[in-house]
Amino acid sequence: MNYGKLKEYHLSGRKLFLQFAEQEAWIEAVTPEIINVFCGLDEPEHRSKAIEGDKTLPVEIRVEEKEDGLWMDTGNVRVRICDDFYVDFYDSEGREVCADYRGKRAPLERISEEHRKLLLSEGHARQEEKKNAFEVLKKLQGTEHFYGLGDKTGFLDKRHYEYEMWNTDDPSPHTDCYKALYKSIPFFITLTDTHVYGIFADNTCKGYFNMGQESEDYYWFGFEGGNLDYYYIAGDSMADVLSRYTALTGTCPLPQRWALGYHQSRWGYMNQEDVEYIADGMRDHDIPCDSIHLDIDYMQDYKVFTWNEGRYHGDAKACLERLAERGFKPVVINDPGVKKEAGYSIYEEGVENGYFAKTPEGDTYINAVWPGDAAFPDFGNPQVRAWWGRRQQFLLNQGVRGIWNDMNEPASFNGPLPDDVVFTDEDRESTHAKMHNVYGHLMAKAAYEGLKKLDGRRPFVITRACYAGSQKYALCWTGDNNSLWAHIQMAIPQLCNLGLSGMPFAGTDVGGFDSDTTPELLARWVQVGCFSPFFRNHSAMGTRRQEPWQFGPEILNIYRKYVKLRYRLIPYIYDLFYEEEKTGAPVMRPLVFHYEKDETARTCNDEFMLGSRILAAPVVMPGMTKRMVYLPEGTWYDYWTGEKTEGPAWMVKDAPLDTCPIYVKAGSIIPVMEEQSFVGEKPADTLILEVYPGAGSWEHYLDNGEDFAYRDGAYHQYHFTTDEDGRVTGSIVHAGYEKPYETIVARRHRSGQAPVTEQIRCERM
């Protein structure tokens, strides 16, 4: 892209308008720390799907023309603009943080067309270099670590990797070389030895992110279409950067409390008997469980918003009511493909009202999905979203408590949707090339808004495909993983990077979706799932069944142990979600989030934090009964033994099959609850605080766990502090919930000694 020399400029409000010889552009200070770089290559204004509403904050801007360029200063960020629209970012003290690379790309050596054909003849495909509408090259200083970019494959640090932004349903076993999966979140955080910053490239077209894979001098990102439209986000820490990114794109709303419990699923629960078998198994084997998920087989001929009543004795509603009486909240899958069938009301309504995507000639576009030939709702049209949202009433009437959106990349069986399929972008015509990456995002928005309006409770919506900002409407899972040790290893960096991408409510299919799990793999995976924000066991039809009792008493006991631990920790996890809604801080965090200067933490792939107080170091290799554990700076207590260790330190930890090494930081106050089979089985009238010696504090949050009354003040907030000896004091900083705790008990842990229990009194501040 050629911009030429900077000819003119003028400041209007918070925007610095730039006239180059070949292009017009602007730099906008959205806040003193967030700078938008924009050039309308495709259209003159923003068309963001991620950012809703006015996100600007007051800012004072100074503009000065110097010999080395045009300078824009917000007080917190200094921006230098040069000819050819080179844009460099500096901190408030004038130190370079993120600068454009002045040279040209030097792609890695590729092969001739003759050799490409030779490789193809043996099945070795090589992707051709794409011509992008634009590319942004940023200089590498040499100490960069990159985090985020959604649920990409590989390890935590994305340095030396390349990825694509194109939501892709590929059920093959995912390995490090996969460039695209189900989500396109074009946001990353860069950490160097001296600075941290974020870049959010708000473009829904197919994009490419090369994080120093082709050169040690630069990294780059580019898109096949759309505008040059990216946000530079400054901060003093990764937490600052993520908080500002989620201030732009939104945070995940506080979920219903039951959603933090255990979920059991399988593609293959065919009928009422199968579902009741699972419900009986959970309760009979004393496995706490809050939700059973129904895959596509509950539908009539795989048609959305239908129920195969023949498989539910003609009364599915009664079946779901019985489940609810036992504490189960049914969640059902919902795909976008609408079966092409005369007399099917959803299809006929959609055709009559023009609610489906169309061919360039104006006909309803048809491809095949589970029901066969199917049409695709045009979710970019607000009327279609409202229509789809209203249709959730059918499922609510049956007793459904959550919607699981699948196949919404959109996936299709007869080849991918062509780029020129016609969609709507709110108030105008668009194409699949521009709307593909936000199709799942907009479907989730339709379901969320429909459920919120119809039901009143906090919507429980799962989505497979995402874009930046999808966290406002849905939680997600990482899609069709496999029962492979490589995939339990990948689960930790995947979930941590999703959290660093603004998607905090996420999980993997515990045990693996495809292939056959093993007893050892399932036992180790539940130890990861126990601490994952979304905790669901899910597997594919035709694979070995992996309910907790399928592998004998040893695995059952291990499974029960970690599901019960999860339920004990729900008050703590709920607090983390309350913090997340306010600040954007993820629930599951890589060590580097809290220990940025720690070189080991920066590339730690097999340990993680649950919040700021608990560190988990699962075993993710077969046959291992010991593992190396790294503890960052500070004092740590072994959760199982109470042993005290000073970090930073490496140690060899015994980890037999029933043991996941867990550590709690000194000064921690961990709110927990009594044992129960599902959330709400027992009254929430007693709070237990697990207290570890050391000075510390904790904000604990309590509400009804179900609706949005908390946003109007219907909640209690407690403030607890502890001293070096673990003595606890408490106070109530907000009193708005009608059912506060009747009893608060502190269990003071002491190294090598039994805990001491004492009751805590809390007075209103």
pLDDT tens figures, 334-364: 999 999 999 999 999 999 999 999 999 999 9
Contacts of 468 by beta carbon, 8 Å cutoff, 6+ apart: 49, 50, 185, 186, 187, 200, 202, 249, 501, 502
Query: Quick one: CA dihedral 292, 316, 412, 377, positive or negative?
Result: negative
- Tell me whether strands 6-12 and 15-20 are parallel, antiparallel or unpaired: antiparallel
* Residue tagged active-site, from 335, 449, 480, 575: 480
Rounded to an integer, the average pLDDT of 482-496 is 98
Q: How many helices (H) and strands (E) does the chain have?
A: 13, 47
Question: What is the residue-wise DSSP string for 210-229?
Answer: ESSSS-SSEEEEEESSS-EE
Question: Can you tell me the distance from the alpha carbon of 273 to that of 266, in angstroms, rounded to the nearest whole number?
Answer: 14
Question: Can you tell me the distance from the alpha carbon of 434 to that of 512, in angstroms, rounded to the nearest whole number?
Answer: 32
Tokens for 554, please give them: 């040893």
pLDDT of 127 reads 63
Judged against a pLDDT cut of 80, whether residue 299 lies above it is answered with yes
* Residue tagged active-site, from 157, 202, 409, 514: 409
Q: What pTM did the predictor assign? A: 0.97
Question: Can you tell me the distance from the alpha carbon of 39 to that of 17, in angstroms, rounded to the nearest whole number?
Answer: 10
Instruction: Find residue 626's DSSP bridge partners.
Output: 654
Mapped onto helix, strand or coil, the DSSP state of residue 526 is helix
> In what side-by-side order are the strands of the sheet with 716-722?
696-702, 716-722, 728-735, 762-764
- Residue 692 phi, psi (nearest 5): -115, 140
pLDDT of 435 reads 98
pLDDT, tens only, 171-191: 899 999 999 999 999 999 999
Using alpha carbons, select from 541, 463, 558 the residue that is nearest to residue 506: 463
pLDDT of 38 reads 98
Judged against a pLDDT cut of 90, whether residue 579 lies above it is answered with yes
409 is annotated as an active-site residue: yes
- Tell me whether strands 762-764 and 753-759 are parallel, antiparallel or unpaired: unpaired
* Residue tagged active-site, from 88, 144, 378, 406: 406
pLDDT of 678 reads 98
Judged against a pLDDT cut of 90, whether residue 130 lies above it is answered with no
pLDDT, tens only, 422-469: 999 999 999 999 999 999 999 999 999 999 999 999 999 999 999 999
Query: pLDDT grade, residue 376 (50/70/90)?
Result: very high
Mapped onto helix, strand or coil, the DSSP state of residue 671 is strand
CA 736 from chain centre, in angstroms, equals 31
